[in-house]
Chains A and B, each alone.
Chain A
Amino acid sequence: MNILVYLEHWDGKFKKSTFELVSYAAAIAKQFQSNVYGIVLGNAETNEIEQLSKYGLENIIHIQNDVFKVLDNQLFTDVISQTVEFVNAKCIIFAHNNTGKALASRLSAKLKAGLVSGVVALPESKSPFIIRKKLFTGKATAQVKVNTEKCVLTLSQNAYGVYENSVAINKINADIKINAELCKTNLKEVQKFTAKVLLTDAEIVVSGGRGLKGPENWHVIEELADVLGAATACTRPVSDEGWRPHHEHVGQTGKIVAPMLYFACGISGAIQHVAGISSSKYIIAINKDAEAPIFEAADYGIVGDVMQVLPELTKKIKEFKK
């Protein structure tokens, strides 16, 4: 039961989430006494690929071609599915992110292999293949049984962790046909966000709600985020009001985050917002209403006005860092 893991790169580089994915795939391979293969499409840097061996990746298939510069779901799925056959993979793993979700669903249908998205742990059994996933936006988990010989998984971010386990990496030349005519995605333009730290990568997130009163007060969020090296986020009403861009909206219908630490500032704690942050390791809530439901979800709470508490906290962290 060989394992194949799809390794996305960002302008040639990998991220911490990639190392978590490799750690996880290597652990499944160990659990099932099988081999783990990674596939990288496009121009990833050689020293980056070699780094993956630190987390237990034994075999790598790296296919370079300019056609992989822009994600075309149909073309990528075709290439990955050929690789599945080539390495005789029975379990194919993606990150539970934009790209992973887009490819895993197509691959599942192409291979008629059961898809379990948002898995949070190692498989509970091999035959039948049973694994745990999140559902209802983190409000529950379920054990899912896969009825097919092959399975496709997407791993929830920060659900497993990064584990070092150095092995020798073996570069494999795979006989894969690139059917470039499948590529129908034509890139016209790329727009980059200006955020210093990406919300989806952040270890710490500082998030604001309607308690901030207006966009002109957002500097208190940004200043705390700056001193912590954190990303900024907001609640749905804040993005709906246009105080902040919608890509910062965290919650059931926005982004689901799982950072090490989440600061909920002036956020009452609507069930939809809490669902989006419940996988955070620690939650610190600051709200002037002691009865706000956010305190039921938080580990630490401060009752106070965010406009006073946040600048004071930022100042104290700065002093501490000195």
Chain B
Amino acid sequence: MKILVCISNVPDTTTKIKFTSDGKQFDATGVQWIINPWDELALTRALELKETTGGLIENITVINVGTKDTEITIRKALSVGADHAVRIDAIPTDAYAVASEIAKYVETHPFDLILTGIESSDYNGNAVGGMLAELLNIPSVSSVSSIEINEGKLIITREIDGGKQILDVPTPLVAIVQKGIAKEPRIPSMRGIMAARTKVIEVVNPINVAPLTDYILFELPQPKGKCKMIPADQLDELIHVLHQEIKAI
């Protein structure tokens, strides 16, 4: 079985978001870039499955659509144990363009299981996985919180409102994963970092797909009014607020 993990290069989740003064672009000054947290959990689960299924999984490849700057993030994926990495050399303009580039690669390099995170923590598109599956004309399961392999078959858990469903879905498949899929992302070991240095990142020329959408203006929300403090021994005041203003009781 071959697994492809799609990874997005995003600002660290603690980043204070800023835009250029004309509001046209994200201001990347001083930003630390990381593997999108859900993509990182997807990769973690892929590695766990490879280790626990005794040779069933022959290869884990990570793929990213991005410029050379993203290679630091790609190297991290290699240093925690991905076997191979692919970078499609294009600026990721929108989800459709990204999904189209990955679909083109997968058409000539088939995988049994393709993993994507449920969204990227920057543009929150929730889009690449579903689009990729549609472009490849294969099934997709979203909100996946667990993947097990039993006798060579995938057992997928999907979160639904108020519960979960255990599903049996044939491969090839796109699984769009969320919280729960793996517990903690892995920290690269010194040995892993050294090994990753010698691995080659395959750079692929893009097909240059026109985006379906453009971001034209970014804005930060209005700052919130000051918090009104209520002394802990005057909870009747809070009861009054809950009743009169918030109308919660």
A interface residues, Cβ below 8 angstroms from B: 10, 70, 72-74, 77, 96-98, 101-110, 112-118, 130, 133-148, 154, 184-193, 195, 198, 200-201, 203-204, 228, 239-240, 246-247, 249, 252-254, 260-261, 270-272, 278, 281-282, 284-285, 295-304, 308-309, 312-313, 316-317, 320-321
Contact = CB atoms under 8 A, between A and B. Distances in A.
B134 A109 contact: yes
Interface in B80-120: 94-96, 99, 118-119
B96 A98 contact: no
B122 A135 contact: yes
Interface string B1-41: 00000000001011011010000000000000000011000
Contact of B179 (A109, A139, A253): A253
B246 A261 contact: yes
A189 B179 contact: no
Contacts of A112: 96, 212
Nearest to B228: A300
Interface string B160-194: 11111111111000001001100110000000000
Given A252-B13, A253-B121, A102 B130 contact: yes
Contact of B135 (A109, A142, A189, A296): A109
Which 6 A-B pairs have CB atoms at the shortest separation, nearest pair first? A105-B130, A304-B232, A102-B142, A114-B212, A109-B134, A109-B131
Contacts of A284: 238
Given A253-B179, A271-B14, A272-B14, A117 B235 contact: no
Contacts of B49: none
6 contacts: A190-B164, A228-B249, A300-B227, A302-B230, A312-B235, A320-B243
Contacts of B13: 252-253, 271-272
B232 A308 contact: yes
Contacts of A316: 235-236, 239
Nearest to A74: B139
Nearest to B41: A253
Given A73-B139, A192-B162, A282-B246, A299 B124 contact: no
B143 interface: yes
Contacts of B139: 72-74, 184-185
Interface of B: 11, 13-14, 16-17, 19, 37-38, 94-96, 99, 118-119, 121-135, 138-143, 145, 155, 159-170, 176, 179-180, 183-184, 210-221, 224-225, 227-232, 235-236, 238-239, 241-243, 246, 248-249
Given A135-B124, A185-B139, A142 B160 contact: no
Given A108-B96, A143-B216, A302 B232 contact: yes
Contacts of B96: 108-109, 112, 114-115
A140 B220 contact: yes
Contacts of A261: 242, 246, 248
Contacts of A298: 227
Contacts of B38: 253
Contacts of B229: 295, 300-303
B217 A142 contact: yes
Contacts of A136: 11, 17, 121-122, 124
Contact of B227 (A278, A299, A321): A299
B214 to A, nearest CB: 5
Most buried by A among B122, B134, B141, B166: B134
Nearest to B18: A140
A139 B145 CA distance: 25
Contacts of B212: 108, 112-115, 146-148
Contacts of A204: 248
A285 B238 CA distance: 11
Contacts of B95: 105, 108, 115
Contact of A193 (B127, B129, B163): B163
A284 B248 CA distance: 12
Contacts of B183: 240
Most buried by A among B99, B122, B130: B130
B123 to A, nearest CB: 5
B17 A144 contact: no
A201 B161 contact: yes
A224 to B, nearest CB: 11
